[in-house]
Chains A and B, each alone.
Chain A
C-alpha cells in the first residue's frame, strides 16, 4: 500500500469523524447512529497505520493486491450498513403504518363520542 493512499485514508477518516461530531453538536444525528461511522473511520485509520493487517487478510483470501483488499474491506463494511439500514427502514415503515392506523381509529372514536 502506497504512502499516499495511507495518508489519504487517514485524512478522509479524520474528516468523517469531525463531520459526524458536527452533526451531533447540531442535534441532527443520534449518537447510536454515529457509532458506526466512528468505528468505520477508526478501522480505516488502523488499516492505514498497520498495513500488515491488510497483507494478512490478503494472503488468507488469495487477493493479488493490497489496494483491492482495502476495497473489499470497505465494500463489506458498507454492505453491512446498507443491510442494517434496510431493516431499520422496514421497521420504521411498519411503525408509521401502525401509528397512522391508530390515529385514524382514535379520531373515529372521538367523533362518535362527540355525537353521543
Chain B
C-alpha cells in the first residue's frame, strides 16, 4: 500500500525538524509531505534547507484548507492511503503501521487513532467537549466514536478524492459524522498521544467555545440534511 503522511505545520519551527527527521529515519517505507500553512516563522526555510518534501502555501488557509491541500497532493499522486499527522510532536509515528494494517484488514474507509478505545476518558474541560461530540454522533448515527476530535486519521483511496475536491469536508468531527451517516466504514485503534513539546496550542477558550457551538449545530442540524453525491 502506497501511504502518504501529511504533516500540516503552522509556525512549527521548533518542532518540524525533529518530527520529520524521525519519520525519515524510522519510517522510510512511507512518503511524507509537509504542508506549511503560511507560517510567519522559519518553518518553510527549515524545510527547504533540509530538502524536505514541502507544499509551501503562500498565505494562511487555516487547518481545513491546509489539510485539503495535502489530500489533493495525495489524490493527484495516486496514493492508496493518506494520514493526517501533526507537526507539533503530539502524534507518535510508531502507531502508523498499526493504522495501515487495520485499514487493510478491516477494509475501512477511515481509521482513527483514538486515545480512548481501551483507556478511560478523563473529565477535564476539553474531554467534556469530546464527550458531547461523542454523544452527538451516537444520537445521529448510532455509531460509537470514542475520540471524535483525534487529529490522527488515516483515509483510504476511496475517500481521498472526495476530501480533495469537495466543499465542507474539513478534518473535523462533523465530517466524520456525515460520512458515518452515508455508510462509510470507520474503525478506531488505541494510541497514546504526547503533550506538545514546544510552541502554542491552536485552541483558546473562546475559540473552543465557538468550535463546540459550530460542531454541535453542524452535527445535529446540517449533516442530517446533507446528501452525498
Contacts and interface: CB of A to CB of B under 8 A. Distances in A.
Contact of A30 (B60, B167, B217, B227): B167
A31 B166 contact: no
A24 B59 contact: no
Interface stretch (B19-27, B86-94, B106-114, B218-226): B218-226
B168 A30 contact: yes
Contacts of A103: 58
Interface residues of A, number: 17
A102 interface: yes
B20 to A, nearest CB: 24
Interface in B43-61: 58-60
A2 to B, nearest CB: 29
Interface residues of B, number: 17
Given A24-B226, A25-B225, A31 B174 contact: yes
B227 to A, nearest CB: 6
Contacts of B225: 21, 24-25
B218 A31 contact: yes
Nearest to A95: B59
A38 B217 contact: yes
B213 A31 contact: no
A38 B58 contact: no
A30 B172 CA distance: 14
B214 interface: yes
Looking at A31, A34, A35, A99, the one whose CB has the most chain B CB atoms below 10 A away is A31
B58 A31 contact: no
A34 B222 contact: yes
A31 B222 contact: yes
Contacts of B60: 95
B67 to A, nearest CB: 14
B4 to A, nearest CB: 24
Contact of B214 (A21, A25, A27, A31): A31
Given A25-B227, A99-B59, A38 B222 contact: yes
A61 B213 CA distance: 29
A24 B58 contact: no
B168 A39 contact: no
Interface in A62-78: none
Contact of A32 (B214, B226, B227): B214
B226 to A, nearest CB: 6
8 contacts: A25-B225, A27-B166, A35-B214, A35-B218, A38-B217, A38-B222, A99-B58, A99-B59
Interface of A: 21, 24-25, 27-28, 30-32, 34-35, 38-39, 95, 98-99, 102-103
